[in-house]
Chain A
Amino acid sequence: MKYRCWALALLLGSTIPVGADDPPPRADKAKAEQIQVPYRRTMTQHILVRAKINGKGPFNFIIDSGAPLVFVNTAVGKKLGLDVDPDTNAATLDRLEVEGGVVLNKVRVRVETPFQLEGMNGMGLAGAELHGILGYTLMAKFKIEVDFTKDKMGWTLLDFKPPPPQGIGAKAAAAAGGLEMMGTIMKFVGFLYGTKTTPDMAPRGFIGIELAEKGADDSKMVEIKAVLAKSPAAEAGLKVGDRIVEINSKTVSSLADVQRITAESTAGQTLQLQIRRGTEKLDIRVAAGEGL
């Protein structure tokens, strides 16, 4: 399993050559302040950002210096009705907005589905559907800072017109083309495995309490600091000052415990709380509601 995984993984997300040349991109003007761009790591350890194209989306893009251009996959290109040059697959996006506040106008892109994307989507490897790649022509316009202990990247617009990438020539590209079939193979494997590109999601249930940790190391407890009016907590009779001893028969001694124990409970499910109120011990059932 593991061996097979990496044999496939090798062919993913790495360097993409371009067969033919593309006209130079246009530079955009904006203030040179660092923009905080939210990102996440996919399960394949790619850097994923979200972007809207012509106000539509958001779409998921990976940040890839190994890709010389911005790629938008064919399905998205079709959905957006992009005017794609049939010979080069080139198109121009009127507006590309990267989450966090990066706005670029008239962005040249290639409307194609690189086999890496097809493969990853086919096997559901990334944990999210990937719609394209932000490669060199976009990355080079910014000084990009990334620190994987933080959940946002820093993008600072440079006063720089990145020179266009040149192709490696049709012959060399063809030599590298033996990999193209990998996307199709992986899509088929994904089909056999029944993998989903994007997992189904549901919100956690809402209770309506503010919490605080009390006490030192050994005697740490979690206390209710506030009960929101009209919330499930208020309806169940929880009160400020109540100490949560257990949730669903699991001992609670920290905020992290609460977060962990309740992490999988959805609206409509009941949480069983054991409460210490003064000298009393109470069992209180709270039906989780909707909210955050």
Chain B
Amino acid sequence: MVSRLTSSGCLRSRLAVLIALLAPVGLCAQEEPVKPMRVPFDVLKTQHIVINVKVNGKGPYRLIFDTGAPVTLINNKVAKEADVFGKDFKRPAFALFGALGQVKIKTLTVGDVTAENIPAMVMDHPTVDAISNAFGPIEGIVGFSFFARYKMTLDYQAKEMTFVPTKFEPPDMLDSITKSIMAGRNNPKKKILAPGGLIGIKVKKEADDMDAGVTIQDVFAGSPAAAAELKTGDRLLTLDGRWTDSVLECYEAATMVRPGEIRVVIKRDGKELTRTLKIQPGL
């Protein structure tokens, strides 16, 4: 346990140094265009999306674009050609499917979109290989670590994606998984659902009540809920577009709200009504 923690901490600090060294390059090189950058794509017969990607200026290579892939992945051939391994890169002693670990791609270019310092895995993924064998060369997968940096649209009819850079910094999946497993083991306590503002209701649901929504048990006088004319006995169906089918779900939805206007849908006397609620800071 201790040794694991140490090695994970060590890895992370090494990674931190790497990021610190690379950061200035990223800062001065990028200018943010406002117009969405269009990227046309092809689909394979399997309907997987294929895009042309340049890795560190090399290529283009054909990669699958995958909204369900948390990481970006390139095969060993591309990794070699594009020279993604830094000088300090250490090959792991054991490489399942030729998996050589995490690297940073200096520039990943998709159409007019160039992203810098994209974390990626180097691996000859068996599924990608199988698809590659069936439908021509496919050299990897473009995933979350790339597309999460952008406001993205995906349109299969137009066979086109668009990208606009945002301020979002995609967290490293490995870090978040490592943390969550560690947290889960060391700290088995409950997750507390804290509403993001004051609404002013108490809700309930009986164990044998299988209908949609929760029942409003109480509306506090003078609260945002009272101002929106919610009433005791109303059935709360959605809060800010989220289902509230159990008391905990209702709180879960409330964790996402912030002070300001939201819409709620209630059922009263068999009719669905939409009300606007002005959430206040408070608790």
A276 proximal to B (CB < 8 A)? no
Question: Can you list 27 pairs linking A and B with CB atoms under 8 Å apart?
Answer: A5-B178, A6-B174, A7-B99, A10-B97, A10-B123, A15-B127, A17-B131, A36-B241, A45-B144, A46-B70, A64-B66, A66-B67, A125-B180, A136-B156, A139-B156, A145-B154, A160-B156, A160-B157, A168-B130, A176-B126, A199-B184, A201-B248, A209-B283, A211-B281, A258-B283, A259-B196, A292-B195
Alpha-carbon distance A255/B45, docked complex (angstroms): 54
A226 proximal to B (CB < 8 A)? yes
Alpha-carbon distance A146/B168, docked complex (angstroms): 12
Alpha-carbon distance A195/B66, docked complex (angstroms): 27
* Extra contacts besides A46-B70, A292-B202 (8): CB < 8 Å: A13-B70, A17-B46, A45-B170, A139-B67, A147-B151, A172-B130, A208-B220, A228-B220
Task: List, in ascending order, chain B residues with CB within 8 A of A258's CB.
Answer: 283
Q: Size of chain B's interface in residues, with CB distance under 8 A? A: 99
Q: Assuming the A-B contacts A165-B45, A255-B281, A291-B201, are A10 and B156 also in contact, with contact meaning beta carbons closer than 8 angstroms in the complex?
A: no
Q: Size of chain A's interface in residues, with CB distance under 8 A? A: 106
B window 243-261: CB within 8 A of A: 243, 245, 247-248, 250-252, 254, 256
Main secondary structure of the interface of A (DSSP, over half): loop
Task: List, in ascending order, chain A residues with CB within 8 A of B243's CB.
Answer: 50, 52, 58, 99
The stretch of A72-80, A85-93, A104-112, A262-270 that contacts the partner chain = A262-270
A146 touches B68 (CB 8 A): no
B202 touches A146 (CB 8 A): no
Render A213-247 as a binary contact track against B, CB cut-off 8 A, 1 for contact: 10000000000011011110000000000000000
B282 touches A13 (CB 8 A): no
A144 proximal to B (CB < 8 A)? yes
A18 touches B46 (CB 8 A): yes
B231 proximal to A (CB < 8 A)? no
Rank and list the top 5 A-B pairs by shortest CB-CB distance, nearest first.
A64-B68, A66-B66, A140-B156, A176-B130, A147-B151
Alpha-carbon distance A38/B199, docked complex (angstroms): 20
The stretch of B3-11, B76-84, B106-114 that contacts the partner chain = B3-11
Q: Assuming the A-B contacts A66-B141, A143-B154, are A196 and B67 also in contact, with contact meaning beta carbons closer than 8 angstroms in the complex?
A: no
Task: List, in ascending order, chain A residues with CB within 8 A of B16's CB.
Answer: none
